Structure 1
Amino acid sequence: MQFFLIAGAVNALLSVAFGAFGAHMLEGRVADKYLDTWQTAVQYQMFHSIGLMVVAVLMSTTFIGPLGSLSWAGYLMLAGIVIFSGSLYVLSLTGISVLGAITPIGGVAFIAGWVMLIIAASKAL
């Protein structure tokens, strides 16, 4: 539980910092399409940072508890942040288009994480 809370908070912090960096330091230095890509990475990182914190809170309650599927939800969301947002950040800074092929793997991790959260909630009912 503590791991996911810290991971969520750190990623939320990084999301705000990367958002500010993109808005203030990248404008005029990278193409507009890469600014949009950067913004997408920031948004998905923040959404899933909140998801990680939700997982942490659910793990701390007696309602759901530390179920395996809940842990998987957190790990998959974290992997999604690293792979999805990370690849988009690097793509935006370098223009290496092959990185776009990695991004969907992170998207699948996000989806799987939410599915695991649904499974955990279903088991608790």
Structure 2
Amino acid sequence: MNPSFVFRSGALITATGISFGAFGSHGLRTIKPPLPESKINSWNTASSYLIYNGLALLAISFHPGLLGATRKYKLGASFIMGGAAVFSGSIFALVLARDKFRWLGPVTPLGGIGMIAG
């Protein structure tokens, strides 16, 4: 994992968070039957966390420790990427599937732990 990969990953995660946030603010409100406000709030939270973690990856990509390819920076970036995907992805799935995948509920905190570890 090199700084360029971490930068591109951060940019992609940030762009995804922004795009999904826009969809949450506009597109989710047009779904029939309507989603409860709590589900829309959950979607927006997941989108926000994607943005925060994408920005963190962008910042990490400029850190000299990553340029030296030290293991802890590579591991931290990996945890942030994986944690953000699991945390936000599980929330997006729960919202869109209208709780058909209830088993994903306990998976969400694992993503949060990954983000914290990163």
Scaled to the shorter chain, the TM-score interval is: 0.7 to 0.9
**Does structure 1 conserve the Cα–Cα contact (< 8 Å) formed by 2:66 and 2:74?**
no
User: In structure 2, how many angstroms separate the alpha carbons of the residues matched to 1:98 and 1:62?
Assistant: 38
CA distance in 2, matches of 1:63, 1:99: 33
Deviation at 1:81, TM superposition (A): 1.2
The counterpart of 1:82, out of the listed 80, 85, 103, is: 85
Do structure 1's residue 95 and structure 2's residue 98 form an aligned pair?
A: yes
In the TM superposition, residue 98 of structure 1 has moved relative to its aligned partner by 2.2
Determine if the alignment matches structure 1 residue 34 to structure 2 residue 27: no
Residue 21 (structure 1) aligns with: 23
Which deviates the most, 91-100 or 103-112? 91-100
* Paired residue total: 111
Bigger CA drift: 92-101 or 79-88? 92-101
Q: Please, which of 30, 51, 56 is the counterpart of residue 56 of structure 2? A: 51
Q: State the superposition RMSD in angstroms.
A: 1.6
Runs of 4+ in 1 over 4 A off after TM superposition: none
Structure 2, unaligned runs of 5 or more: none
For the structure 1 residues 31 and 3, does the alpha-carbon distance in structure 2 shift closer, same or farther, using more than 3 Å as the test? same
What residue ranges of structure 1 are gaps of 5+ in the alignment? 114-125
Matched, 1:11 2:13: yes
Which residue in 2 is equivalent to 1:116?
none
Task: Label 1:108 to 1:57 Cα distance change in 2 as closer, same or farther (>3 A).
Answer: same
Which amino acid in the other structure matches residue 67 of structure 1? T
Determine the C-alpha separation between the residues in 2 that align with 1:94 and 1:32: 15
Q: Deviations over 1:39-74 (max 9, x none)?
A: 11011111100111111111xx37973210000110
Check the 8 A contact 1:30/1:93 in 2, yes or no: no
Q: CA deviation at 1:99?
A: 1.4
TM-score, normalised by the number of residues in structure 2: 0.87
Distance 2:103 2:65 in 1: 45
Identity across aligned pairs (percent)?
A: 29
Deviates more, 1:11-20 or 1:89-98: 89-98
- Supply the AA of the counterpart residue of 1:4: V
TM-score (ref. length: structure 1): 0.83
